[in-house]
Amino acid sequence: MAVVLQSSPGWVLEARSLIDRGYARCIRWRDKEKSHVQCSFKRQCFQVSKSRCSVTAGAAVNGANADMLQKTDKPSKKRKRKHSELNQGEIDSQAFHERIRSVILEGTRSLVESARPLGYLNGETDAVKDPLPSQECGLAALCEMAKELPLVDDEEQEECTQLLVAEDGCTSHVDFFSRVTENRADRAAVVTLMGGEYVIPPHTAFLLSDFTRIQPLLHYGSKFDLIVLDPPWENKSVKRSRRYSSLPSSQLKRLPIPQLASPNCLVVTWVTNRPSHQRCVRDELYPHWGVEVVAEWFWVKVTTSGQFVFPLDSQHKKPYETLVLGRYRPPADASASPSETTEVPVEDQRLVVSVPSALHSQKPSLSEVLKPYVGAEAKCLELFARSLQPGWTSWGNEVLKFQHVSYFTLTPTDDQADGATG
């Protein structure tokens, strides 16, 4: 079960099931020999059972006790600075939170209460006590090293794609940095790449590169009906942790969205709760790309018992993140042919509620949620991806990060109903 339920406030997702789609039947290649396995993302990554909320803050979502709800609606008793001591960014953040607070609180409460009779968000967790995977991702460093390699000449761009696995099961020939790599098989493949094992979903394509090597994606020849972006936003926390390199808005504007988007393409951008980042998307990036804002959604993070993972009114971290949705509107004189499909209106202020991954920067898949707005046969692209999805094209300098075999449980299966290509 991936989409637990859908109602007027939004959706409740089971994020781990969304990852596992397409991994039930996999072929594992080792020394050109293949075996059959089933892959599933490790359960302990989605066992967030404890909230950093107070008891009353948890009850605000649960809707279990009226007295507790009344207490929760009051601001925290922590000493607050005087309004005059807040900087402009903090004032803007406070105003944004007050604008959407009731949408988050009431919508989440409704969705959680509806999910519980279905056996979800009732506090149950798997008895898995294994530690979280701690695989260090060196893909970004490899991309830096690959910059020393010569770029592919324009006359060679017709060969900008390559198959993941050769007929003999070999993967050593694959050039990840200047070619789009495809797994065209109906099954996932567990293959050795760059000295490590990775799980690659079926019917997927990816390019491992940064801005300087995005050209193969442009020469790939596809126009996409859905583009999801998870930009590495600049902030102090990222700088301190050095988990990944951030990008300023001036560089983000260089993303070739008009060259990648089909007319009326749905563009979805993950945004932090900083108003400056949200203004950047709405007032800089989208207008520069020719994208019209159509809706604002929120990903609400809850525990396995349905409580907010952080206090709703926390001054530091909020239990939600923002998604800005827009439609690409090509110029009137553009040579692109108009879309043959009827554009489906996107509702505003919808919620996507799920238990978050305990792994840093792992977002839930939006494929099932967005399908009604783009169609089941839509061509989908994720930019700044850290994982792959069946049927999608993905780009980024850590595009295989969460595909490493250390994040999966592999179970041998006896499946002989398999063709030569898997």
Pairing of strands 10-13, 380-383: unpaired
Higher pLDDT, 236 or 19: 19
Confidence of residue 145 (pLDDT cuts 50, 70, 90): confident
Mean pLDDT of 276-286: 95
Mean pLDDT of 228-250: 69
Q: How far is CA 207 from the centre of its chain?
A: 16
Distance CA 169, CA 331 (A): 46
Which range among 48-62, 68-82, 333-347, 382-396 shows the weakest confidence by mean pLDDT?
A: 68-82
Domains identified in the chain and CATH numbers: 3-47+124-412 (3.40.50.150)
CB-CB contact of 301 with 354 (8 Å): yes
According to the model, what pLDDT value does residue 100 have? 96
Query: What do you get for the CA distance between the two ends of the chain, in Å?
Result: 25
Higher pLDDT, 79 or 41: 41
Is 421's pLDDT higher than 50? no
Rg of the chain (C-alpha set): 22
Q: Above pLDDT 90, what percent of the chain?
A: 59
According to the model, what pLDDT value does residue 411 have? 94
Q: How far is CA 389 from the centre of its chain?
A: 10
According to the model, what pLDDT value does residue 71 have? 37
Record the pTM. Answer: 0.88
Is 171's pLDDT higher than 90? no
Which range of 157-171, 242-256, 397-411 scores highest in mean pLDDT? It is 397-411
DSSP assignment of 353-368 equals: EEPPPSSTT-PPP-HH
Distance CA 110, CA 11 (A): 10
According to the model, what pLDDT value does residue 381 have? 98
C-alpha distances (whole Å) from 405 to each of 36, 61, 191 are 15, 36, 9
Confidence of residue 180 (pLDDT cuts 50, 70, 90): very high
**Amino acid identity, position 267:** V
Which residues on neighbouring strands pair with residue 5, listed in sequence order? Answer: 12
Q: Above pLDDT 70, what percent of the chain?
A: 81
> Residues 92, 351, 281, 229: what is their CA dihedral angle, to the nearest 10 degrees?
140
According to the model, what pLDDT value does residue 245 have? 61
- What lies within 8 Å, CB to CB, of 191 at 6+ separation is 29, 164, 165, 171, 197, 198, 200
Higher pLDDT, 8 or 159: 8
Higher pLDDT, 249 or 71: 249
Mean pLDDT of 3-30: 94
C-beta atoms surrounding 334 within 10 Å: 12
Q: Determine the 3-state secondary structure of 10 from DSSP.
A: strand
Is 88's pLDDT higher than 90? no
Q: Determine the 3-state secondary structure of 376 from DSSP.
A: coil
Higher pLDDT, 76 or 262: 262
Distance CA 135, CA 189 (A): 20
Across the chain, what does the average pLDDT equal? Answer: 84
Mean pLDDT of 262-282: 95
Which range of 195-204, 291-300, 338-347, 357-366 scores highest in mean pLDDT? It is 291-300
Mean pLDDT of 43-58: 72
Name the nearest CA neighbour of 268 among 179, 340, 371: 371
Which range among 51-55, 118-122, 307-311, 377-381 shows the weakest confidence by mean pLDDT?
A: 51-55
Is 420's pLDDT higher than 70? no
Angle (nearest 5°) at CA 365 between 113 and 296: 70
According to the model, what pLDDT value does residue 237 have? 53
Is 85's pLDDT higher than 60? yes
Which range among 99-103, 167-171, 261-265, 374-378 shows the weakest confidence by mean pLDDT?
A: 167-171
Handedness of CA 258, 149, 251, 403 (dihedral sign): positive
According to the model, what pLDDT value does residue 131 have? 82
